[in-house]
Amino acid sequence: MPSVIQSFTGKYAFLSLLYRSAFFFDTDQYNSPAAAFEAAKILSRNDRVSFIGWNIQPWDARRLGKNIPKSWMRPDWEAVQLDIMLDIQRSKFSWPLLREKLLAIEDAQLVHGNACHDNFWGVCLCQSLPASKQKYGVSPRCAGDGGNRLGLILMQVRQECHAGHHRTPVMPK
């Protein structure tokens, strides 16, 4: 088992926000953490419909999330987004199959390595990648360090699961 998992792709794609996995969050079913997270930005539950269920691909949810009108946004978004991501990950990993996969990676450090200059949720590795892998070019603000908040949240959820403090999966009524 690697001591550091630095990419949420391939064998470790289940850790990604773009991984398709049905779960319930805030009483609605989503097909990916990305869709649930983008929907959670919207104040009115009625306006979240485009993100709910299987009607949206995870990468499309991210694109749509960048274009949410300011008037629709939760006014407290900056203050609550980390707690919301934690709740989303707890819901996602409440399902036994995904929880088992998370526990199987034991105590590996989880780093959301990326090449899209995301140093809030992950660590951008663009400067260390070959030119062929630099989809978004190289940014001088990416020096291989970042907040890695997604990795930290995933490690917290894994620790909670190890301790037996995991949720029971929510089922539709």
pLDDT tens, 111-140? 998 877 777 898 887 776 656 666 666 666
Question: What pLDDT is attached to residue 118?
Answer: 79
Q: What is the DSSP letter of 75?
A: T
Question: What pLDDT is attached to residue 76?
Answer: 97
Q: What is the pLDDT of residues 13-41, one digit of tens each?
A: 999 999 999 899 988 999 999 999 999 99
Taking each helix axis as running N to C, give the angle between helix 77-92 and helix 149-162, from 0 to 180 degrees, rounded to the nearest 10: 40
Q: How far is CA 38 from CA 53, 87, 122, in A?
A: 13, 13, 17
CATH number of 4-112+148-162: 1.10.357.40
Question: What pLDDT is attached to residue 150?
Answer: 97
Question: What pLDDT is attached to residue 14?
Answer: 97
Please give the model's pTM, rounded to 2 decimal places. 0.88
Amino acid identity of 103?
Answer: L
